[in-house]
Amino acid sequence: MSWLDPNWGFIASAYAAGLSLTLAAIFFTVRDARKQKKRLGALEAAGIRRRSKET
Amino acid sequence: MIADNPRVGFFSRLAQPGYFLDWSRHMILPLAALCAVFFALGLWFAFFNSPADYQMGNTVRIMYIHVPNAWLSQFAYGVMVVASIGSLVWRHPLADVAAKTAAPLGATFTAIMLITGAIWGRPTWGTYWVWDGRLTSSLVHLFIYLGIIALWRAFDDPVRAARPIAIITLVGAINIPIIKFSVDWWNVLPQPASVIRAGGPTMPAAILTPLLVMFGAYTLLFLVLHLAAMRTELARRRITALQARTARSQAGTPA
């Protein structure tokens, strides 16, 4: 494989673009999952506290 | 309980939301690890263990990221079509969750396919873009995804949104055969199918292997992200239900 190919710029750009979008998809999916898990945990804890206060 | 009922089929049981949350929790990490292995192997093959093409030279390596994303772009839409049918016909509680969460992933794969394809086009055809049948129908495919994502965001209640969006998804499926057969119907720049075709693949094993490994990596990535996004969507719906219940109890109306 020749590393002196003048087209390496195109190959590097394609992989940089493709892999950064892939990483962005992973990042946003994980961030959203953590955010909603935290919100759900807080809401459920508040519900348990409220119910125990009522009874 | 559906999960305990022996008369309910295996797949129906798997798709019951509570049961789904339970089994998918154990699936995500092993699938993610396998996906990482496939990516490492695929990228190693792509850069260090595959030959240059006799016509395209080293730019053939762009195919290993472009083509799997092109396949996944259509596969994600296929998942949305099946989920939409499940939503319309059986009103399955997980079907619209699956359809909703596949759309952003499909849009991402389509965007990667279009960007890497344009970059590949410059050294191969001498241009980044032409308005031919394949490229235009692929761009329309991205717009269909974006339209469906916008529609999901336009509705407050995702359960009410599911039916109209399912119908629109099924109508949008008309673009899938147009993308697939555009290379046969019209005079376009991309080459005709060389892997999934009658008579088997036309490319040598040294080029086909990295392509299939990268395809496996992206398919696993889709599965992992789709499962995670479905779990998140279920959590989001539970949050909305809990907030509504709290608001009703604070207003003094029965829950």
Q: What is the pLDDT of residues B86-118, one digit of tens each?
A: 999 988 889 999 999 999 999 999 999 999 999
Sign of the C-alpha dihedral computed for residues B203, B64, B41 and B105 taken in this order? negative
Q: Which of A14, A25, A47 sits opposite B62 (nearest CB)?
A: A14
pLDDT for res B217: 97
Of B48, B59, B108, the CB nearest to A10: B59
Let me know if residue B246 belongs to a domain.
no
The pLDDT score that the predictor gives to residue B28 is 95
Count of CB atoms situated within 10 Å of the CB of B54: 7
Residue B112, judged by CB atoms within 10 A of its CB (0-12, 13-18, 19+), counts as buried
- B209 assigned to some structural domain: yes
Chain B closest-CA separation from residue A12 CA (Å) = 9
Q: How far apart are CA A49 and CA B177, in angstroms?
A: 55
The answer to whether residue B252 is domain-embedded is no
pLDDT computed for residue B55 by the predictor:
80
Task: Tell me which of A27 and A5 has the higher pLDDT.
Answer: A27
Give a yes or no: residue B208 inside a domain: yes
The CA distance from B31 to B191, in Å, is 33
Q: Would you place residue A47 in the very low, low, confident or very high pLDDT band (cuts 50, 70, 90)? A: confident
Q: Name the residue among A7, A10, A29 with its Cβ closest to that of B229.
A: A29
Under 8 Å CB pairs connecting chains A and B tally to 92
Number of domains in chain B: 1
Residue B8 near residue B24, CB atoms below 8 Å? no
Residue B251 is assigned to a structural domain of this protein: no
- Biggest alpha carbon–alpha carbon distance for chain A: 76
What are the angstrom distances between the C-alpha of B93 and each of B96, B99, B100? Answer: 7, 11, 12
pLDDT-flagged residues of chain B (< 70):
1-8, 11, 14, 189, 191-201, 253-255
Tell me how far apart the alpha carbons of residues A50 and B162 are, in angstroms, rounded to a whole number.
33
Chain A residues at the B interface, defined by Cβ less than 8 Å, are 1-2, 5, 7-8, 10-11, 13-15, 17-19, 21-22, 24-26, 29-30, 32-33, 36-37, 39-40, 43-44, 46-47, 50
Residue B254 domain-assigned? no
Tokens of B199: 């008579």
Domain of residue B174: give its range: 2-241
End-to-end CA distance of chain B: 22
- Residue B221: both structure tokens together: 């990535």
Partners of residue B62 in chain A, C-beta under 8 Å: 10-11, 14-15
Between CA B175 and CA B177 the distance in angstroms is 6
Determine, yes or no, domain membership for B255. Answer: no
Tell if the CB–CB gap between A8 and B58 is shorter than 8 Å.
yes
Does the beta-carbon distance from A33 to B242 stay under 8 Å?
no
